[in-house]
Structure 1
Amino acid sequence: MVAACAVAAALVAVPAVTAHAADAGSNWWYKSFGVAEAQSQGWTGAGVKVAVIDNQINPDLPVFEGARLKVDDRALCKGGTVRVADSDQSDAASHGSDVTALLIGNGEGKGQVRGIAPRAEVTFYGEGIGSGVCDSGGDFDGRDPLIEGIHRAVASGAQIISISLGWGDYATPADDEAIAEALAAGVVIVAATPNSVKDAEQLWPWSFNGVVAVNAMDQSGRIQQDQRVSGKQIGWKDTTVVAPGVGFASVDWRSGTWVISGASLATPLTAGILAVTAQKYPKATGGQLIQSLIRNTGLKDHELSRNGGWGYGVVSLRHMLRVDPMTYADANPLMDKSKARPTAGQVTAAEVAASAAPAATATSSPTRVIPSDAASSTAAGLPMGWIIGAVVLALIAAAAIVIVIVMNRKKSKSVGGAK
C-alpha cells in the first residue's frame, strides 16, 4: 500500500502514458483486432460492469456522448475534484479521459477514439487530483486511494477493474487485503506495468498475485520503448499479456493534436476484451476469463507458454470470442508472481469471510416494522406465518391427490416433442 504523505515523491501516482504534440495518431488497433466485426455481431460489452480507477475525467467530452458512464464524484484523495469541465483541462483529466474513451468512446470529438466495449457499464473512480500528488492520503477509514477505489468497485458489483496507474509499494497488509477481497469476489483486476526501468518502484498493483499485468506494443508488433531510457525496450518478468498502446490519438482538448503511448492505453483495451468476452459467455467466472486471456493470445491455438516481457503473448479479441472460457478451470492462474502476495491462503480467507457476511448481516438486521393497515394477522388474531403454513399444507395435500390421479391414467403422447 502507499505510505502516508511523509515523502511526497513516493506518493506520486504516475500515469503510464506520455504525450506530445504531433499529427494525430490512429486507432490502428481497432482494425487489427477486428473490433468492428465483433461489434456488428453484438459483442459490445453490453451489461458488463467495468470500473476505471484513475485521476480525473471530463465526462462531457463528445467522445462519451451516449455512453453508459457514471462518475463517482467522491474523490479518492481528500479534498480532490474528480469531474472537470473543458475550462479545467489538466494532464490528470486527459489521462483519465483517454483510458476511459478506449473502453467506451463513440469515435466523436478530438482524436475520434472508438471504444473496444462501447456498451459496457463503466463507473469512473478518481483520485481527484490535478498535480498527480495525493498529499493527504486516503480519507476513507484510513485507506489509501487505490485501495479505497478497489473497495468501492467491488462493493458496486464491478466484474472488471481497469487501473492505469502505478504506485510505490511499502509492503503494507492492506495491499494484500484489497487484492484478496477482489479476487475472492471473482473480480478481474487489470493493471498497467511501468513504462520505464526508472519507475521500477511502482509495484502496486500490477505485480501482485492474481492481477493481469499489461505492457504496451506498437503497430509493428514490438514492445514499447522505455520512455525514460533511450534505445531500450521495456519489459517486466511478471507481465501477463501485451496489448496495443503506442501511437494513439488522444481526446485531449487543448490546442494542437496529441499522440500518446504507454501501458496505460494497453490496459483498458485488455479490460475491454475481457468485458466483451464476459458478455458473450456470461456464466464464466473471473478466473476462467483470465485463463482464456492467457491461453488464447494471438490468432492461432497454441500451448500455454510465457516469454519474458511478453508474458503469455499478445491479447486477441477474435481468439477469445471463439473459445468458451468455461472449458477452463475456475481458478486464477496468476497466483505465482515473484512478489507472492497476496497468498492463496489470504484469498481463501477472504472468500470465507465474504460467504459468512450475509448470514451475519441477516441475524443483526433490525426488525421489519409492518404498517398497521397491512394484513399481518387474521380477524381471530392468528399470526400470518401460521396462516401461510396452513395454506401451504393444504396445497401440498391437494397436489398429492392430483399426482395419484395422473399416475393411474394412461401415459399420453407428448405434444410438441421432447423438451
Structure 2
Amino acid sequence: MTPFSRAGGVVAACAMAMALTVVPTVAAQADEGTNWWYDGFKVAEVQADGWTGAGVKVAVIDKQINPDLDVFQGAHLTVDDRALCKSGEVRVSGSDVSDEASHGSDVTALLIGNGKGKGNVRGIAPDADVTFYGTGPADTLGLCDPAGDFDGRSALGEGIHRAVAGGARVISISQGSSSMTSADDEAVAAALAAGVVIVVATPNSANEADQTWPWSFNGVVAVNAFDTSGRIQEDQQIPGKRIGWKETTVVAPGVDFPSVDWRSGSWIISGASLATPLTAGIVAVAAQKYPKATGNQLIQSLIHNTGTEEHELSREGALGYGRVSLRHVLNVDPTTYPDENPLMDKSSGRPTAAQVANAQAAASPVPSASPTHWSPSATPGALASSGGGLVVPLLVGGGVILLLIVIAVVVIIVVVTNRKKNKSVGGAV
C-alpha cells in the first residue's frame, strides 16, 4: 500500500496507490489479462435482470481521474474538483491517461466502466451514481498537505466526511496511510451511524504493515485480492510470498486485470486496489435490489454469502469470511440479518461502539413538541395556539363536523315539533 498523510508526516504518495503492480508480460498473456472476473461472476446475466446499481450513490476516494476517457462515456460520474491535498487538480482531461490519473481511473472504471477504450474495462455496477473525491497529484516528495483545516480530519477522513454529506450509500477507498487523527475516528463513526458501507483495500505487501488507515478501523470492510485460481495475491515487494491479513473481511478478484491505460497488450495490473471497487459494487447492486436493507445488513449479507454454496458464517485465515459472490449476495434478502455491524471487534478499537452510537444520536432528528389537543374546556373549532400545521386543519375540520351535527339536531327537533303541531291542527279539521 502506498500511503499519504497529513502535513508533518513524510510518507510516500499515492502513486499507483495501494501498490497496484504493473507486470510486464508477453503479447500472448495480454488476452489472459482480461476482465476474467466479469465472466466468473456472470455479471452480464445479473445486469440483464436489471441489477446494475441504478440509483445507488457510490463515492470513490482516490488520487486523480480522467472522466473524459471512453470507458466513462454515458456513466453517471461526478468529480468533486476540490482536491483533498494542496498539491493540485483532481481532474485530468484529454484522451490519454496520465500516470497520476491511471489508478483512480482504473478503480472507478471497475465500478461503472462501459467496456470501451483501452483495456475494455467493464464495471460491476455501471448505472450507479459515482462521485469521485481526489487528493490531487502529490509532489515529488510524496507529501499530502490537507487542502484545508477539515476540523482536524486527515485528507482521507475529509473524503469520507464529504462522501457522507453527499449522500453516498457506499464508499470505495483503494489507498491508505499510517497517519490518522482522532477526528478521523469521528468521520468513520458518522459514516457508520448514517448507514454508509465503507469498503477499503488492504496493503499489498507485508512491508506496509504500518499502513492501517482506514482498512483496520471498526465497521470497515477490508478487502484483499485473489487470482484466477482463487489464491490470495502474491506479496508485491517480497518474491515468493503471498500476502494476507488477519483482519481481512473478504477477498475479491484483483489479479491480472487490463488497465484503462492498456499499452498494446503488454501491461497488466494487480492488487487489492482492484478487488475493492468490485466488492463495493456488489454492495451497491445489493442495495439497489434491497433498498430497505441497512448498511449493517448489507455487510452481514456480504460476509454470510461468500462463495457459491450455502454455509455457516466462519472465518478462514487470510481469506476472512471468504471470496465475495455477486449472485449469492443477490439471492438473499439482507433484511433477514440483524441490523448490527459485525466488524466492530477489530484490534484497533477505532472508532468505538460508543462513538458510533453518539454519532447516531446526534444525527437523529429532535422530536417535535407535542401537538395541542382539544379538550372539553376549549372552544370547539378553535385554532391551537402552538400546534403543528397538521393539527390546525384537523381541529377546524372537527369544529365544522360538530357544528353540522348541532344544526342537524336542531333541524330534527324543529321538524318533529312542527309535525306534532300539524298533526294536532289537522286532527281538528
- TM norm structure 2: 0.82
Which residue pairs with 2:212 in the alignment? 203
Are the equivalent residues in 2 in contact too, given 1:86–1:253 (CA < 8 A)?
A: no
Which residue pairs with 1:94 in the alignment? 102
Deviation at 1:386, TM superposition (A): 11
Structure number with larger C-alpha Rg: 2
From the superposition, tell whether residues 386 and 192 of structure 1 become closer, same or farther in structure 2 (CA, over 3 Å): closer
Amino acid at match of 1:396: G
Pairs within 5 Å for 1:193-342 = 193-252=202-261, 257-342=266-351
Which residue pairs with 2:419 in the alignment? none
Amino acid at match of 1:153: A
From the superposition, tell whether residues 402 and 220 of structure 1 become closer, same or farther in structure 2 (CA, over 3 Å): farther
The one-character-per-residue Cα deviations of 1:58-106 (angstroms, maximum 9, x if unpaired) are 0000000000000000000124210002377432300000000000000
Secondary structure, in 3 states, of the residue corresponding to 1:166?
A: coil
Secondary structure, in 3 states, of the residue corresponding to 1:345?
A: helix
Which residue pairs with 1:411 in the alignment? none
Instruction: Say whether 1:136 aligns with 2:145.
Output: yes
Secondary structure, in 3 states, of the residue corresponding to 1:30?
A: helix
Q: What runs of 5+ residues in structure 2 fail to find an aligned partner?
A: 370-384, 406-429
Amino acid at match of 1:306: R
Match of 1:18 among 13, 17, 21: 21
- Please tell me the root mean square deviation across aligned C-alpha atoms, in Å: 2.8
Deviation at 1:20, TM superposition (A): 3.3
Secondary structure, in 3 states, of the residue corresponding to 1:15?
A: coil
Distance in 2 (alpha carbons) for counterparts of 1:268 and 1:134: 25
Are the equivalent residues in 2 in contact too, given 1:127–1:134 (CA < 8 A)?
A: no
Instruction: Say whether 1:178 aligns with 2:178.
Output: no
Which residue pairs with 2:156 in the alignment? 146
Secondary structure, in 3 states, of the residue corresponding to 2:237?
A: coil
Which residue pairs with 2:166 in the alignment? 156
Bigger drift between 292-301 and 21-30 goes to: 21-30
The one-character-per-residue Cα deviations of 1:225-257 (angstroms, maximum 9, x if unpaired) are 000000001000000000000000000166764
Distance in 2 (alpha carbons) for counterparts of 1:388 and 1:155: 30
Amino acid at match of 2:177: W
From the superposition, tell whether residues 130 and 87 of structure 1 become closer, same or farther in structure 2 (CA, over 3 Å): farther
Instruction: Say whether 1:106 aligns with 2:104.
Output: no
Distance in 2 (alpha carbons) for counterparts of 1:161 and 1:71: 14
Instruction: Say whether 1:168 aligns with 2:178.
Output: yes
Distance in 2 (alpha carbons) for counterparts of 1:106 and 1:333: 34
From the superposition, tell whether residues 399 and 308 of structure 1 become closer, same or farther in structure 2 (CA, over 3 Å): farther
The one-character-per-residue Cα deviations of 1:185-219 (angstroms, maximum 9, x if unpaired) are 11000000000000111100001110000000000
Bigger drift between 65-74 and 80-89 goes to: 80-89
Match of 1:71 among 55, 61, 79: 79
Amino acid at match of 1:75: A
- TM norm structure 1: 0.84
Are the equivalent residues in 1 in contact too, given 2:83–2:134 (CA < 8 A)?
A: yes
Q: What runs of 5+ residues in structure 1 fail to find an aligned partner?
A: 364-382, 404-419
The one-character-per-residue Cα deviations of 1:376-419 (angstroms, maximum 9, x if unpaired) are xxxxxxx9x9999765434235568999xxxxxxxxxxxxxxxx
Are the equivalent residues in 2 in contact too, given 1:10–1:168 (CA < 8 A)?
A: no
Are the equivalent residues in 2 in contact too, given 1:216–1:262 (CA < 8 A)?
A: yes
Are the equivalent residues in 2 in contact too, given 1:13–1:167 (CA < 8 A)?
A: no
Instruction: Say whether 1:349 aligns with 2:358.
Output: yes
Are the equivalent residues in 2 in contact too, given 1:14–1:167 (CA < 8 A)?
A: no
Distance in 1 (alpha carbons) for counterparts of 2:145 and 2:209: 24
Which residue pairs with 1:8 in the alignment? 10
Deviation at 1:12, TM superposition (A): 5.5
Which residue pairs with 1:37 in the alignment? 45
Are the equivalent residues in 2 in contact too, given 1:89–1:254 (CA < 8 A)?
A: no
From the superposition, tell whether residues 291 and 135 of structure 1 become closer, same or farther in structure 2 (CA, over 3 Å): closer
Distance in 2 (alpha carbons) for counterparts of 1:124 and 1:390: 46
Distance in 1 (alpha carbons) for counterparts of 2:279 and 2:321: 13
From the superposition, tell whether residues 273 and 388 of structure 1 become closer, same or farther in structure 2 (CA, over 3 Å): closer
From the superposition, tell whether residues 388 and 101 of structure 1 become closer, same or farther in structure 2 (CA, over 3 Å): closer
Secondary structure, in 3 states, of the residue corresponding to 2:215?
A: coil
Secondary structure, in 3 states, of the residue corresponding to 2:354?
A: helix
**What is the aligned-residue identity percentage?**
65
Distance in 2 (alpha carbons) for counterparts of 1:39 and 1:387: 46
Distance in 2 (alpha carbons) for counterparts of 1:18 and 1:386: 61
Are the equivalent residues in 2 in contact too, given 1:21–1:256 (CA < 8 A)?
A: no
From the superposition, tell whether residues 12 and 104 of structure 1 become closer, same or farther in structure 2 (CA, over 3 Å): closer
Instruction: Say whether 1:396 aligns with 2:405.
Output: no
Which residue pairs with 2:35 in the alignment? 27
In the alignment of these two chains, the number of paired residues is 380
Distance in 2 (alpha carbons) for counterparts of 1:68 and 1:396: 50
